[in-house]
């Protein structure tokens, strides 16, 4: 059994293959955290210590015992008002405006299978693949109940956390803070690893020491954001890619979030992750409940790379869904960087013919096909095919594309609206805006109020009318601005608009994937502004960044790899000089970087030379050959591109018999020094043949020292090594 309960001392133990998580209900009914780390068979309640902490408060129940203080004890779900002055997991404002909450253990239940969350994405599993613990805490005065949900996926070293809050009292309350997870560590000196960025430079790796005080990341933008990814890692200072203990927390949510880690006065470390507090004050009337989104936890004592592999496997098999969860995606050509808004049906068909000739499998018609849409200043919201601009109907275009043997994809941005649109003129009240004030524009567009069911229902019908009539097999779901005007004319209490907006988004996506089970949806938010575990539940791949430059992408995809599987990374070959930064890189380098993802093209293939077109045919053939290994193999980071002059990564089959290594030179110098690519994950004591040169190499030497790089002239050269076990 993955979950055990010792009735004699009220200790709950959650075991995965390599980790143990343990907590205890103490004599006062408080739920204390005991241990999270390597798998063990004992009980860790002896780790708790009690002393008079001077200015730390004591629960009234403790009487004259000044040694008992929640200000120093590790907890599972701390609340304000208990005497713990560290960051709480929950804040409640009662009807009398008091903000007190005293949560004590009431009951629990353990069952096979994995819990689900109403209206929210969550890890899923069959009954035999997981176990669930539901722990109910209650505030006896207000009647508020908090159900802590724990899901254990033993084989993946994953434990999930979520929270359900129920108002069982007779008076309304407001949730003003809700964090889905709290991890308290009694000892240890940790580094916090997080991933910051901006548009076109997302998920940049950052590792800093945890010190006294709090370090916080989050998003107030209505999306998980380009600026901070909703993922945080903790690791002792000595932990590396290949050794040492480490922990990860990934938020399964696509809106505003908050994650923080603090070292307290007693050198204890607390990590929390949950919903953003700004503009959050969720009303709960008597009998109503609220679900806080899930956090996925994992632990490794074999370094950061193993931690990433835990998450990759869990996300691929127990978060992503649908037809394309387990199969290579079609190689596509997106029209955006080929034409931007300047295209019609004839130009698209010309592009499609060139794509088909090169072996590309899908043409994606990006922004500009609908409404009055010749630039980004008008037309959003008018989801009808512009036959006048296109010179044909959508059905005629689809017939021509399909006749060339290609699939057809299409771009949508359903969450936004231009003021210059028929929809806005008919329903200005559907846009989020503060009453009596001019709205904030982003990309000259406003945001539709997805907290309103009538808005979501309308968009569902409009999108379906296009998908039904056009034979569409792929949908790129974009969102190109942040949400500033968080006010809904359709709601009285405004404290839950941001959360209800995301529920509306998830509802629309869920209805689409149920109606169109064979439709491949790619998430996008100005590129990588909503690259999170929540979106992966609905879209098995996400456009990693609007920056398609191969050298920048090495760093962007490096940071992404810490928490997300390669099968989710939307990555394309684009033109050189690159249209985001002007850099010139070899076509081979661009293809190797893009191949380490879902793979596609983002350029006008018609203008390429015969040699370049032949190279693309070879790249696509290579991708089909390597795709199963790339999408399902064990992923290894071989270098740190923020520190090293080479970017290197590797895919290894689960049987360890095949390995595919990529390396990109990020810097070149005069009289260049030799670089060695140290391979990982091979079978010790065996030999491997390298396809590039036909030579046989000893696995242990490859893993200890590595392959020497050829000293070729030129910037940004890239190399690929395919190794196969000698039988």
Calpha distance 164→289 (Å, rounded): 7
Which of 197, 200, 273, 201 has the alpha carbon at shortest distance from 232? 273
The span from the CA of 721 to the CA of 571, in Å, is: 20
Buried b (16+ CB within 10 A) or exposed e, 465-500: ebbeebebbbbbbbbbbbbbbbebeeeeeebbbbbb
Q: DSSP character for 60?
A: G
Contact assessment for residue 644 and residue 638, using Cβ atoms and an 8 Å cutoff = no
Q: Which of 362, 361, 360, 366 is nearest to 342 (CA)?
A: 366
Cβ neighbours of residue 100 closer than 8 Å, sequence gap 6 or more = 80, 81, 92, 94, 141
| CB-based contact 530:541 (threshold 8 Å) | no
Q: Is cis: bond before 577, omega within 30 of 0?
A: yes
Closest CA to 55 of 41, 66, 46, 63: 66
β partners of residue 149: 134, 162
Helix (H) or strand (E) holding 702: helix 699-704
Instruction: Yes or no: say if 301 and 208 are a contact pair by the CB < 8 Å rule.
Output: no
Q: What's the token pair of residue 649?
A: 């990564």
Rounded Cα distance between 113 and 153, Å, is 9
Which of 710, 676, 703 is CA-nearest to residue 688?
703
DSSP assignment of 151-178 equals: EEEGGGTEEEEEEEEEE-SSS-EEEEEE
Q: Which of 241, 366, 473, 532 is catalytic?
A: 532
Element holding 425 (H helix, E strand): helix 422-426
Cα separation of 397 and 409, whole Å? Answer: 11
Read off the tokens for 253. 């949510």
Task: Tell which residue, 207, 209, 227, has the closest CA to residue 218.
Answer: 227
Nearest-5° angle of CA 425, CA 463, CA 413? 65
3-class SS of residue 362: strand
Distance of alpha carbon 466 from alpha carbon 394, whole angstroms? 8
Longest dimension (CA), the chain: 86
Look up residue 435 and give its two tokens: 């009453």
532 is catalytic: yes
Measured between alpha carbons, how far is 247 from 240 in angstroms, rounded to an integer? 13
| Closest to 250 (Cα-Cα) out of 467, 633, 520, 537 | 537
Q: Are 51 and 67 in contact (CB under 8 A)?
A: yes
Angle between helices 550-561 and 587-595 in degrees, nearest 10 = 20
Q: Is 50 left (phi over 0), alpha (psi -120 to 50) or beta?
A: beta
* Burial class of residue 126 (count of CB atoms within 10 Å of its CB; 0-12, 13-18, 19+): exposed
Side-chain half-sphere exposure of 543, counting CA atoms within 13 A:
29
Q: What is the DSSP letter of 46?
A: G
Tokens encoding 38: 């390597």
Q: Which entry of 100, 420, 612, 715 is annotated as an active-site residue?
A: 612
Strand partners, 14: 3, 21
Tokens of 700: 């242990």
3-state secondary structure of 330: coil
CA 598 to CA 409: how far, in whole Å? 15
The catalytic residue positions are 532, 612
């Amino acid at each position: 059994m993955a979950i055990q309960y010792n009735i004699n001392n009220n200790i709950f133990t959650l075991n995965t293959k390599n980790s143990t998580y343990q907590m205890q209900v103490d004599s006062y009914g408080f739920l204390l955290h005991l241990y999270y780390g390597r798998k063990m068979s004992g009980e860790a309640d002896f780790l708790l210590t009690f002393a008079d902490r001077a200015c730390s408060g004591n629960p009234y129940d403790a009487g004259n015992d000044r040694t008992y203080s929640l200000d120093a004890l590790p907890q599972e779900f701390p609340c304000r008002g208990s005497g713990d002055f560290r960051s709480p997991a929950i804040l409640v404002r009662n009807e009398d405006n008091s903000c007190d909450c005293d949560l004590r253990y009431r009951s629990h239940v353990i069952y096979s299978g994995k819990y689900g969350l109403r209206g929210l994405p969550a890890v899923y599993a069959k009954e035999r693949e997981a176990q669930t613990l539901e722990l109910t805490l209650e505030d006896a005065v207000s009647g508020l109940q908090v159900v802590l949900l724990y899901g254990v996926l033993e084989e993946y070293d994953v434990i999930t956390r979520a929270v359900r809050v129920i108002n069982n009292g007779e008076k309304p309350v407001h949730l003003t803070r809700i964090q889905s997870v709290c991890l308290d560590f009694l000892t240890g000196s940790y580094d916090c690893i997080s991933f910051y960025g901006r548009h076109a430079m997302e998920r940049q790796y950052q590792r800093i020491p945890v010190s006294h005080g709090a370090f916080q990341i989050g998003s107030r933008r209505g999306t998980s954001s380009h600026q901070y990814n909703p993922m945080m890692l903790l690791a002792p200072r000595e932990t590396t890619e290949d050794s040492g203990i480490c922990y990860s927390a990934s938020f399964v949510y696509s809106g505003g979030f908050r994650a923080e880690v603090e070292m307290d006065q007693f050198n204890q470390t607390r990590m929390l992750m949950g919903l953003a507090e700004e503009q959050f004050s969720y009303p709960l009337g008597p009998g109503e409940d609220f679900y806080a989104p899930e956090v996925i936890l994992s632990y490794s004592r074999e370094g950061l790379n193993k931690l990433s592999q835990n998450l990759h496997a869990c996300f691929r098999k127990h978060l992503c869904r649908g037809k394309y969860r387990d199969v290579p995606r079609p190689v596509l050509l997106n029209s955006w960087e080929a034409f931007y808004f300047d295209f019609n049906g004839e130009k698209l068909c010309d592009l499609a013919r060139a794509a088909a000739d090169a072996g590309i499998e899908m043409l994606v018609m990006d922004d500009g096909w609908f409404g009055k849409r010749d630039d980004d200043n008008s037309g959003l919201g008018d989801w009808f095919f512009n036959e006048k601009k296109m010179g044909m109907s959508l059905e005629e275009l689809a017939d021509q594309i399909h006749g060339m043997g290609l699939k057809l994809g299409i771009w949508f941005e359903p969450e936004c609206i231009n003021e210059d649109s028929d929809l806005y003129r008919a329903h200005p009240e559907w846009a989020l805006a503060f009453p009596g004030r001019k709205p904030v524009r982003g990309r000259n567009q406003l945001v539709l109020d997805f907290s309103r069911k009538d808005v979501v229902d309308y968009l569902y019908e409009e999108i379906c009318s296009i998908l039904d009539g056009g034979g569409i097999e792929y949908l790129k779901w974009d969102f190109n601005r942040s949400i500033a005007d968080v006010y809904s004319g359709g709601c009285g209490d405004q404290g839950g608009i941001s959360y209800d907006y995301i529920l509306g988004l998830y509802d629309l996506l869920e209805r689409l994937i149920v109606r169109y089970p064979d439709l491949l949806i790619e998430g996008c938010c100005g590129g990588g502004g909503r690259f999170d575990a929540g979106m992966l539940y609905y879209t098995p791949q996400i456009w990693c960044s609007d920056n398609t430059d191969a050298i920048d992408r090495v760093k962007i995809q490096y940071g992404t790899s810490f928490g997300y599987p390669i099968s989710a990374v939307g990555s394309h070959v684009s033109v050189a000089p690159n249209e985001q930064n002007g850099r010139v890189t070899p076509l081979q380098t661009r293809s190797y970087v893009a191949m380490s993802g879902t793979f596609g093209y983002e350029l006008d293939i018609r203008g390429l030379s015969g040699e370049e077109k032949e190279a693309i045919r070879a790249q696509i053939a290579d991708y089909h050959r390597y795709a199963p290994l790339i999408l399902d193999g064990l992923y290894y980071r071989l270098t740190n591109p923020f520190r090293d002059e080479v970017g290197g990564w590797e895919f290894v089959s689960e049987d360890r018999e095949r390995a595919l290594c990529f390396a990109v030179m990020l810097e070149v110098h005069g009289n260049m020094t030799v670089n060695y690519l140290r391979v990982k994950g091979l079978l010790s004591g065996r030999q491997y043949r390298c396809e590039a040169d036909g030579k046989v190499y000893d696995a242990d030497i490859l893993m200890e020292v590595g392959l020497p790089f050829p000293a070729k002239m030129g910037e940004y050269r890239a190399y690929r090594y395919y190794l196969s076990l000698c039988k």
